[in-house]
Amino acid sequence: MKFGHRAAQYGDLTDMYKKTRAEGFGDEVKRRIMIGAYVLSHGYYDAYYLQAQKSAA
C-alpha cells in the first residue's frame, strides 16, 4: 500500500490488509460496501444460487 491508512501493527500481508481495512473503514463505509455487494449479486440469484440448490438436491 502506497497511499492512505495502514495499520501500525501486523504480522503478515493478509493480517495487514485485515487490520488496515478494519481500522480505516468506518461503519458507514462498511455498510455501503455490503449493500453494494448485495445489489451486484442480487441480479445473479437465479443464475447461480437456484442452480446450485438444484444440483445439491
pLDDT in tens, 5-47: 889 999 999 999 889 888 888 889 889 988 888 877 777 777 7
pLDDT computed for residue 10 by the predictor: 92
pLDDT in tens, 40-53: 777 777 777 777 78
Of 14, 17, 54, give the one whose Cα is nearest residue 6. 17
pTM of the model: 0.48
pLDDT computed for residue 12 by the predictor: 94
